[in-house]
Structure formats: C-alpha cells, structure tokens
A = this chain, B = another copy of it.
Amino acid sequence: MREVDMIISKGRILLLDDNDSIIKDGSIAIDGDSIAAVGESVDIESQYTGRRKIDASGCLVMPGLINCHTHAAMTCFRGIADDMELMDWLNNYIFPAEAKNVDPDLAYWGSLLACAEMIKSVTTTFCDMYIFEDETARAAKEAGIRCLLGEVLFDFPSPNVKTPSEGLEYTRMLIEKWADDPLVNILVEPHALYTCSPTLLKDAKALADQYNVPVATHLLENRGEQEQLQKLFGVKATHFLKDIGYLDERFFAFHCVCMDDEDIKIFADHGCKVVHNPESNMKLASGVAPISSMIKRGVVVGLGTDGCASNNNLDMLQEMDTAAKLEKVERLDPTVMSARTVIRMATCNGAKVLGMENHVGSLKASMKADIIILDLNKPHLTPLYNEYSHLAYAVNGSDVDTAIINGTVVMENRKLTTIDENEAMAQVRKIAERIKKSLEE
C-alpha cells in the first residue's frame, strides 16, 4: 500500500481523455500537486491509502474548467452599463471609468473577487488580460488558482504604463518574476490589431519568442472591426498576421466572430487556436463565431466568459450551455456543438489553447491535481441518464461543492479555504462607490 496525500473515493469520474471515458465507481489518488493514479475504486483503494479522504459518492468528479478569456479585475465594473451600443458603452462608461479608477488596489481586489467567483463556479484555470497584471498574479497566487496572465498592450497610455515599450518591459518583468511559479504563468497580450501599431505587434511577438511563451489577442470581434482592419492594412487581418510572422502554435485569438473559410483554413494550417466567447458576443451584439466550421477544419477551440462588464458573470457552466445552444440555432442544426463538444472546449481543449495540455484539462496519472466535485443529489439534476448532458444543459455554477487545484483543496462544501470572500466583497464595494462618484463628476 502506498500512502498518498489524498484520495477522492467512489465518485462518478469523467476523465476527459480521448475516449470520453467515464468510471462509474472511481477513485483518484493525489500526492503533492499531482494525480498519482485514477481508476476503479476497488483498484485504487487496494493500492493506496490517503492521509485525507474525500467521499465523492453520488457526485460527479472531473477536471476543473478552464476559462480561456477573462478580464478578472473588471468584476469592479459588473453591471455598470448594459444594453448599449458598443461605442457608447466603451467611450462613455467603460473607458472613462477605467481611466479614472484602475489602480493596483482595484486590480488586486477585483481579481481576488473574480478568483472567488471562478472557484465557486468550478473554474480552476483562467487566462487573463488587463492592467496591473502583477496584482492579478498576486491575487491568483493567494487564491490558489492556476492562471496564464498578460498585461494588456496598446499604443496609448494605460493607468499602469505610459508607452508601448514600458508595457513590453512590464511584461518582461512579469515573465521573469513568475518564471518558476507553480500556479502563475505569463503570456504576451497585445490588445487588438486596431489598438496596436505593427511595430508594437512585432515587438510583442519577439518578446514572446525570446521566452517561448504564448501570444494572444482580440481578433475580428465584430463586422466593424473587420472592415476597419481591411481598410487599415489593405489585406485581410489573417493575411496581415501571417505576413508579420504571428501565426504559429503559440498564437491564439479571442472572439474570432468574423472569420470566413479562408481565415479558418489559415488558422488551421498554422496550428493557431481560438477562444469562443458566446455570451459576450451575444450581449454586445457582435455576432456568432463559426465555431463548428473551425472545429471541423481542425482548429482547437477553447471557451471563455470575457470580462464581467460584458457577460456579466464568470460562470463557465452557463457559457457551455450557451455555446451549445447558440451554435445549434445559428446553424439551424440541433446536432452541431454537442454536450461533449462544449465540455471538451471547457476542459481538455481549453488546456490545449493555453499550451497546458500536459498539466491540466483531463485526469490521468502525472497530471496536476485540478479536480472538481459536483453534488448530483439535487432536483434540477435528477434523474441522471447522461453525465455530459447534465453538465452542458442542467448544472449551474452553484452546484460544485469541492474544488482542488494543484493538490490543494481550495473550496470545501462551498466554503473557500484560501480567500476571505467577505473581505474581497467589502473591498470591491468600496471601490464601486469610488467608481460611481467618478462617473458623476
């Protein structure tokens, strides 16, 4: 018998491997930050004893969800302005509110609140773009949640940096500072092709290549952007990206609503990945990304909520439900975007988008122990014919009881073990008072 730190026992386990294996009575041995073994309960429990044991009978056990696109600190702006034209929303609410209010304090507390919300709705890894990302890294580290973070880069000054080169230097600092961290990973994130000069874009790519980290950006979010870029470059955005050497396996893009077949082929040919943000694309009336075509062509697609000002929550389970339903109604085909497809987008394929597929997104020995446990004993989850169906179409963010990240129990019986959520809420409420005042001025 080998003694390990923890055993999750007698759960219904979704491995999210290539065969969509489900172990009806399974257990997982966890040692340190990793999975030592996963298998039938009889096998695991005859080979391992756990210093701690979590009884998962009657529960669904699976990899934690991966939110591939957030602006975490924007929890501070949740619901500040809805139901508006994009440019009205941005120019009269979001941009002024950010310019006047974003500082390290907001970035830290807004991110910590986001971490609390994400863990409570089963996300265990997130990919973030915002300002003062060192504060987001600090919050994530404290919360014990895995992340891939980048400082937003653009041509104009931000509350954090005055020039594009300061932005690049700040990103370099992040890369070096967090290089060996078990939870925090850094990428390079130019905001978009319409907010970054070609020089900044190329410098950003060079920095990413130097450190072998990913690059990600907003791309072709709506028709207006598509037309703007065509005018700006005289060629299609994907051609422009190809010409400046952006397209490789370390590049992924958010939204990609306005991609045609040729754009998709270019992405597929170069191994570029896409992050789908259906709720934000709907709320801002951006359009519907051609996700089933992308998947058919072999593009790996992950799922993200986007920030709280355009969603307005970070609930990946609702996002899966919406992703499946939106694609069906848009294509007038109920067979596209199955429950299985959206669940893989939110787990193993999300991990591939972030370049983390060897660590997270599925359950097997040697992977990091990022695991969630959902209680199925609830009216809205009864009866159970099919686990994938429940996850995609019936579960909500409040159904998770226990979350383990990197071998640490970060939530148990819905209580966070790493964060004082009341303090985080109180601090964000104070920040919101300041934001409200600033908009009245």
Question: Which residues of A approach B to under 8 Å, CB–CB?
Answer: 75-76, 78-80, 82-86, 89, 113, 116-117, 120-121, 223, 279, 281-288, 311-315, 318, 321-322, 324-326, 328-329, 331-335, 337-339, 377-380, 382-386, 389-390, 392-394, 396-399, 421, 424-425, 428-429, 431-432, 436
Residues of B with C-beta under 8 A to A121: 380
Residues of B with C-beta under 8 A to A398: 396-399
> How many identical chains are in the complex?
2
Give bound CA distance, A45 to B413, whole Å: 37
- A398: nearest chain-B partner, CB-CB: B398
Cβ 8 A contact of A380, one of B279, B315, B390: B315
Minimum C-beta distance from A143 to chain B (A): 11
Residues of B with C-beta under 8 A to A377: 425
Give bound CA distance, A313 to B382, whole Å: 10
Residues of B with C-beta under 8 A to A282: 325-326, 328-329
Give bound CA distance, A338 to B285, whole Å: 12
Contact B113 A385, beta carbon cutoff 8 Å: no
Known A322-B325, A329-B285, A334-B83; contact A113-B393, beta-carbon cutoff 8 A: no
Q: In this complex, which of A324, A329, A398, A421 has the most chain B Cβ atoms within 10 angstroms of its Cβ?
A: A329
Residues of B with C-beta under 8 A to A386: 79-80, 82
Residues of B with C-beta under 8 A to A279: 321, 325
Q: Identify 16 new A-B residue pairs, CB closer than 8 A, beyond the known A84-B335, A223-B332, A287-B332.
A: A76-B383, A78-B382, A79-B386, A79-B390, A80-B386, A85-B335, A113-B382, A117-B379, A282-B329, A284-B334, A312-B393, A318-B396, A378-B425, A382-B428, A383-B428, A385-B432
Give bound CA distance, A379 to B325, whole Å: 27
Contact A283 B380, beta carbon cutoff 8 Å: no
Residues of B with C-beta under 8 A to A389: 79, 82, 312
